[in-house]
Structure 1
Amino acid sequence: WSDKDMFALLDFINSHKATAGDSLNFKVAFWNACAASLMLANPEKGRPKTPKSCKEKWKRLQSTYMVVDHLSCSSGFVYSLKSGADVGVANENSWDGYVKVHKDAAPYKNKGWLFYDRMSALIPSKCKSLN
Protein backbone atom coordinates (compact mmCIF):
# COMPACT_ATOMS: atom_id res chain seq x y z
CA TRP A 1 0.00 0.00 0.00
CA SER A 2 1.38 3.38 -0.98
CA ASP A 3 0.64 6.52 1.04
CA LYS A 4 -1.65 7.62 -1.79
CA ASP A 5 -3.56 4.32 -1.56
CA MET A 6 -3.88 4.74 2.21
CA PHE A 7 -5.25 8.26 1.82
CA ALA A 8 -7.73 6.94 -0.78
CA LEU A 9 -8.90 4.31 1.72
CA LEU A 10 -9.28 6.91 4.48
CA ASP A 11 -11.12 9.29 2.15
CA PHE A 12 -13.53 6.53 1.15
CA ILE A 13 -14.12 5.60 4.80
CA ASN A 14 -14.64 9.24 5.74
CA SER A 15 -17.18 9.76 2.97
CA HIS A 16 -19.18 6.69 4.08
CA LYS A 17 -18.70 6.75 7.86
CA ALA A 18 -22.37 7.52 8.51
CA THR A 19 -23.25 4.04 7.22
CA ALA A 20 -21.15 2.40 9.93
CA GLY A 21 -22.43 4.11 13.05
CA ASP A 22 -20.34 5.36 15.95
CA SER A 23 -18.17 2.25 16.17
CA LEU A 24 -17.13 2.40 12.49
CA ASN A 25 -17.92 -1.28 11.97
CA PHE A 26 -18.66 -1.51 8.27
CA LYS A 27 -20.72 -4.24 6.59
CA VAL A 28 -19.49 -6.54 3.82
CA ALA A 29 -21.18 -4.43 1.12
CA PHE A 30 -19.13 -1.42 2.23
CA TRP A 31 -15.82 -3.29 1.83
CA ASN A 32 -16.91 -4.52 -1.61
CA ALA A 33 -17.65 -0.93 -2.67
CA CYS A 34 -14.42 0.28 -1.11
CA ALA A 35 -12.30 -2.19 -3.08
CA ALA A 36 -14.21 -1.36 -6.27
CA SER A 37 -13.68 2.39 -5.85
CA LEU A 38 -11.66 3.96 -8.63
CA MET A 39 -8.56 4.70 -6.54
CA LEU A 40 -8.34 1.29 -4.86
CA ALA A 41 -9.28 -0.76 -7.92
CA ASN A 42 -6.38 0.97 -9.72
CA PRO A 43 -3.85 1.51 -6.93
CA GLU A 44 -0.64 3.42 -7.26
CA LYS A 45 1.27 0.43 -5.92
CA GLY A 46 0.67 -3.30 -6.15
CA ARG A 47 -2.38 -5.20 -7.24
CA PRO A 48 -5.96 -3.98 -7.00
CA LYS A 49 -7.14 -3.97 -3.40
CA THR A 50 -9.63 -6.62 -2.30
CA PRO A 51 -12.46 -6.17 0.19
CA LYS A 52 -10.49 -8.30 2.65
CA SER A 53 -7.27 -6.30 2.23
CA CYS A 54 -9.16 -3.01 2.69
CA LYS A 55 -10.80 -4.26 5.88
CA GLU A 56 -7.50 -5.61 7.25
CA LYS A 57 -5.70 -2.35 6.43
CA TRP A 58 -8.46 -0.43 8.25
CA LYS A 59 -7.99 -2.62 11.35
CA ARG A 60 -4.22 -2.00 11.28
CA LEU A 61 -4.77 1.73 10.86
CA GLN A 62 -7.09 1.71 13.88
CA SER A 63 -4.51 -0.16 15.97
CA THR A 64 -1.72 2.21 14.98
CA TYR A 65 -3.94 5.20 15.68
CA MET A 66 -4.57 3.95 19.23
CA VAL A 67 -0.81 3.61 19.80
CA VAL A 68 0.00 7.08 18.47
CA ASP A 69 -3.00 8.68 20.18
CA HIS A 70 -1.92 7.24 23.54
CA LEU A 71 1.61 8.51 22.92
CA SER A 72 0.34 11.97 21.98
CA CYS A 73 -1.31 12.42 25.36
CA SER A 74 1.35 10.77 27.51
CA SER A 75 3.09 12.95 30.04
CA GLY A 76 6.67 13.84 29.16
CA PHE A 77 6.28 13.74 25.39
CA VAL A 78 5.14 16.33 22.87
CA TYR A 79 3.92 14.46 19.79
CA SER A 80 4.10 16.02 16.32
CA LEU A 81 3.90 14.77 12.74
CA LYS A 82 7.41 16.02 12.07
CA SER A 83 9.20 14.70 15.19
CA GLY A 84 6.99 12.01 16.71
CA ALA A 85 7.58 11.98 20.48
CA ASP A 86 10.60 14.23 19.91
CA VAL A 87 12.82 12.24 22.25
CA GLY A 88 16.12 13.85 23.13
CA VAL A 89 18.72 13.54 25.86
CA ALA A 90 16.44 15.13 28.46
CA ASN A 91 13.62 12.59 28.08
CA GLU A 92 15.47 9.48 26.83
CA ASN A 93 15.01 7.65 30.17
CA SER A 94 11.28 8.40 30.17
CA TRP A 95 11.06 7.10 26.60
CA ASP A 96 12.89 3.89 27.47
CA GLY A 97 10.41 3.24 30.28
CA TYR A 98 7.44 4.07 28.07
CA VAL A 99 8.56 1.77 25.25
CA LYS A 100 9.09 -1.14 27.66
CA VAL A 101 5.36 -1.01 28.37
CA HIS A 102 4.18 0.26 24.95
CA LYS A 103 6.44 -1.58 22.48
CA ASP A 104 4.37 -0.58 19.43
CA ALA A 105 5.23 3.08 20.06
CA ALA A 106 8.93 2.55 19.25
CA PRO A 107 8.73 3.68 15.59
CA TYR A 108 7.40 7.07 16.69
CA LYS A 109 10.34 8.06 18.88
CA ASN A 110 11.44 10.85 16.53
CA LYS A 111 9.16 10.37 13.54
CA GLY A 112 5.46 11.12 13.30
CA TRP A 113 2.72 9.02 11.72
CA LEU A 114 1.48 10.47 8.44
CA PHE A 115 -2.12 9.35 8.93
CA TYR A 116 -2.69 10.59 12.50
CA ASP A 117 -4.67 13.71 11.60
CA ARG A 118 -6.91 11.82 9.15
CA MET A 119 -7.56 9.11 11.71
CA SER A 120 -8.27 11.73 14.41
CA ALA A 121 -11.08 13.03 12.22
CA LEU A 122 -12.61 9.54 12.13
CA ILE A 123 -11.94 8.23 15.64
CA PRO A 124 -12.25 10.36 18.77
CA SER A 125 -9.13 10.63 20.89
CA LYS A 126 -9.02 8.57 24.08
CA CYS A 127 -6.89 11.25 25.74
CA LYS A 128 -8.30 12.56 28.97
CA SER A 129 -8.72 16.32 29.08
CA LEU A 130 -6.06 18.07 31.13
CA ASN A 131 -8.40 20.96 32.01
Structure 2
Amino acid sequence: MTERIPIEYFSTWLATGERGISSEMIATHLTGVPILPDRWSNRRDSHPHDPSDFRRCELLLRAVPKARQRMDSVGDLSPVWRNLVDHWDEIVALCEEESPGCFDGPRAGGKASKAYSLMKELIEEARAAS
Protein backbone atom coordinates (compact mmCIF):
# COMPACT_ATOMS: atom_id res chain seq x y z
CA MET A 1 0.00 0.00 0.00
CA THR A 2 1.14 3.49 -0.82
CA GLU A 3 2.04 5.92 1.94
CA ARG A 4 -0.90 8.26 2.37
CA ILE A 5 -0.67 11.96 1.58
CA PRO A 6 -2.08 14.14 4.37
CA ILE A 7 -5.45 15.61 3.40
CA GLU A 8 -4.11 19.09 4.22
CA TYR A 9 -2.17 19.04 0.94
CA PHE A 10 -5.52 18.98 -0.85
CA SER A 11 -7.24 21.76 1.13
CA THR A 12 -7.03 24.47 -1.56
CA TRP A 13 -8.12 22.05 -4.28
CA LEU A 14 -11.00 20.81 -2.12
CA ALA A 15 -12.14 24.38 -1.47
CA THR A 16 -11.70 25.90 -4.93
CA GLY A 17 -10.67 23.28 -7.48
CA GLU A 18 -12.73 21.85 -10.30
CA ARG A 19 -13.81 18.45 -9.03
CA GLY A 20 -15.46 15.38 -10.42
CA ILE A 21 -15.79 11.69 -9.56
CA SER A 22 -12.43 10.76 -11.11
CA SER A 23 -10.40 13.50 -9.45
CA GLU A 24 -12.13 12.81 -6.14
CA MET A 25 -11.24 9.11 -6.51
CA ILE A 26 -7.58 10.07 -6.93
CA ALA A 27 -7.71 12.22 -3.79
CA THR A 28 -9.58 9.53 -1.84
CA HIS A 29 -7.09 6.85 -2.87
CA LEU A 30 -4.01 8.95 -2.10
CA THR A 31 -5.24 10.32 1.24
CA GLY A 32 -7.33 7.45 2.54
CA VAL A 33 -10.00 10.04 3.36
CA PRO A 34 -13.41 9.35 1.79
CA ILE A 35 -14.06 12.40 -0.38
CA LEU A 36 -16.50 10.76 -2.76
CA PRO A 37 -20.23 10.65 -2.11
CA ASP A 38 -21.22 7.30 -0.58
CA ARG A 39 -22.77 6.06 -3.81
CA TRP A 40 -19.34 6.25 -5.51
CA SER A 41 -16.99 5.39 -2.65
CA ASN A 42 -16.48 1.76 -3.65
CA ARG A 43 -16.45 2.27 -7.41
CA ARG A 44 -13.00 1.39 -8.65
CA ASP A 45 -14.09 2.15 -12.21
CA SER A 46 -14.64 5.83 -11.57
CA HIS A 47 -11.78 6.65 -13.91
CA PRO A 48 -11.85 9.60 -16.31
CA HIS A 49 -14.08 8.76 -19.27
CA ASP A 50 -13.43 11.78 -21.48
CA PRO A 51 -11.11 14.79 -21.78
CA SER A 52 -13.27 16.86 -19.41
CA ASP A 53 -12.93 14.24 -16.66
CA PHE A 54 -9.24 13.89 -17.46
CA ARG A 55 -8.75 17.66 -17.29
CA ARG A 56 -10.15 17.81 -13.76
CA CYS A 57 -7.74 15.03 -12.74
CA GLU A 58 -4.78 16.81 -14.31
CA LEU A 59 -5.79 20.06 -12.60
CA LEU A 60 -5.71 18.17 -9.28
CA LEU A 61 -2.19 16.92 -10.04
CA ARG A 62 -1.07 20.44 -10.89
CA ALA A 63 -2.61 21.80 -7.68
CA VAL A 64 -1.08 19.03 -5.52
CA PRO A 65 2.34 18.09 -6.98
CA LYS A 66 2.82 15.42 -4.31
CA ALA A 67 -0.21 13.64 -5.79
CA ARG A 68 1.53 13.41 -9.17
CA GLN A 69 4.51 11.78 -7.46
CA ARG A 70 2.20 9.03 -6.15
CA MET A 71 0.02 8.70 -9.24
CA ASP A 72 1.42 5.28 -10.10
CA SER A 73 -0.43 3.82 -7.10
CA VAL A 74 -3.74 5.08 -8.55
CA GLY A 75 -3.20 2.51 -11.28
CA ASP A 76 -3.79 -0.15 -8.62
CA LEU A 77 -7.49 0.80 -8.50
CA SER A 78 -8.38 -1.12 -11.67
CA PRO A 79 -7.00 -2.27 -15.02
CA VAL A 80 -8.57 0.79 -16.67
CA TRP A 81 -6.94 3.14 -14.19
CA ARG A 82 -3.62 1.33 -14.76
CA ASN A 83 -3.83 1.80 -18.52
CA LEU A 84 -4.73 5.48 -18.19
CA VAL A 85 -2.00 6.15 -15.61
CA ASP A 86 0.58 4.41 -17.80
CA HIS A 87 -0.34 6.72 -20.69
CA TRP A 88 -1.05 9.86 -18.64
CA ASP A 89 1.68 12.05 -20.09
CA GLU A 90 0.69 11.09 -23.62
CA ILE A 91 -2.93 12.09 -22.95
CA VAL A 92 -1.79 15.39 -21.41
CA ALA A 93 0.35 16.11 -24.49
CA LEU A 94 -2.56 15.39 -26.84
CA CYS A 95 -4.90 17.63 -24.85
CA GLU A 96 -2.36 20.46 -24.91
CA GLU A 97 -1.69 19.96 -28.62
CA GLU A 98 -5.36 19.95 -29.56
CA SER A 99 -6.52 22.61 -27.14
CA PRO A 100 -3.63 24.87 -26.09
CA GLY A 101 -4.18 26.30 -22.63
CA CYS A 102 -6.74 23.65 -21.72
CA PHE A 103 -5.21 23.28 -18.26
CA ASP A 104 -4.92 27.04 -17.68
CA GLY A 105 -7.57 28.86 -15.75
CA PRO A 106 -11.08 27.88 -14.80
CA ARG A 107 -13.09 25.94 -17.33
CA ALA A 108 -10.48 26.44 -20.02
CA GLY A 109 -10.85 23.82 -22.66
CA GLY A 110 -11.90 22.97 -26.14
CA LYS A 111 -12.06 19.98 -28.42
CA ALA A 112 -9.59 17.15 -27.80
CA SER A 113 -10.75 14.43 -30.18
CA LYS A 114 -7.36 12.68 -30.43
CA ALA A 115 -7.08 12.56 -26.65
CA TYR A 116 -10.64 11.25 -26.42
CA SER A 117 -9.93 8.56 -29.02
CA LEU A 118 -6.83 7.45 -27.15
CA MET A 119 -8.70 7.36 -23.85
CA LYS A 120 -11.53 5.26 -25.35
CA GLU A 121 -8.96 2.88 -26.85
CA LEU A 122 -7.12 2.51 -23.53
CA ILE A 123 -10.36 1.96 -21.60
CA GLU A 124 -11.64 -0.64 -24.06
CA GLU A 125 -8.26 -2.37 -24.16
CA ALA A 126 -8.14 -2.66 -20.36
CA ARG A 127 -11.73 -3.91 -20.14
CA ALA A 128 -11.13 -6.53 -22.82
CA ALA A 129 -8.04 -7.82 -21.02
CA SER A 130 -9.74 -8.13 -17.61
- TM-score, normalized by the shorter chain, greater than 0.5: no
Normalised TM-score (structure 2): 0.28
Q: Select the structure that is richer in helix.
A: 2
Instruction: State the structure with more CA Rg.
Output: 1
